[in-house]
A = this chain, B = another copy of it.
Amino acid sequence: MNADLLSERLKDRGYRLTNQRRAVFDAVAHLEHGTHEEILRQAQIADSTLNLSTVYRNLEVLEEIGLVRHAHLGHGSPTYHLADHHAHLHLVCSKCKEVLEVSVDAADGLVAALHADHGFAVDIDHFAIQGLCKKCQN
């Protein structure tokens, strides 16, 4: 399960398992798409003295060992999610800022075309797709 994976991966790379790391990891898992600040607040439920700089440092470590990844959903801060979190596209409305999650299947053609024509292996959910939602087009 997750906790063991966390412990294992950390040890493999010479990192230690601390309560703060576990709290940050759990917060990422719980929030699905959290910013640094949101992850801090969530993780502080488990450890109220947790510091923002620890969140920054741990997200870096968790990303390095491949358990966590980040994506850019809007114009602001990146959001963090578990690496095994099933991928989906994020459609962000430029006007009302609503975020729609849709299946990555829609992008299969694009992914295949870019691979065939340019040898490029797309990480399709890293950036959101900007546009106008149905409501805001009127």
A122 touches B133 (CB 8 A): no
A106 touches B102 (CB 8 A): no
User: Chain B nearest CB: distance from A114 CB in Å?
Assistant: 6
Number of copies: 2
A122 touches B127 (CB 8 A): no
Q: Which 9 A-B pairs have the closest CB atoms?
A: A119-B134, A109-B109, A126-B130, A127-B127, A122-B131, A106-B113, A121-B132, A123-B130, A123-B131
Pairs A–B under 8 Å by Cβ, sample size 27: A72-B72, A72-B127, A91-B114, A91-B118, A91-B120, A91-B122, A94-B123, A102-B117, A106-B110, A106-B113, A106-B117, A110-B110, A114-B131, A118-B133, A118-B134, A119-B133, A120-B132, A121-B131, A121-B137, A122-B131, A123-B129, A123-B132, A124-B131, A126-B130, A126-B131, A127-B127, A127-B129
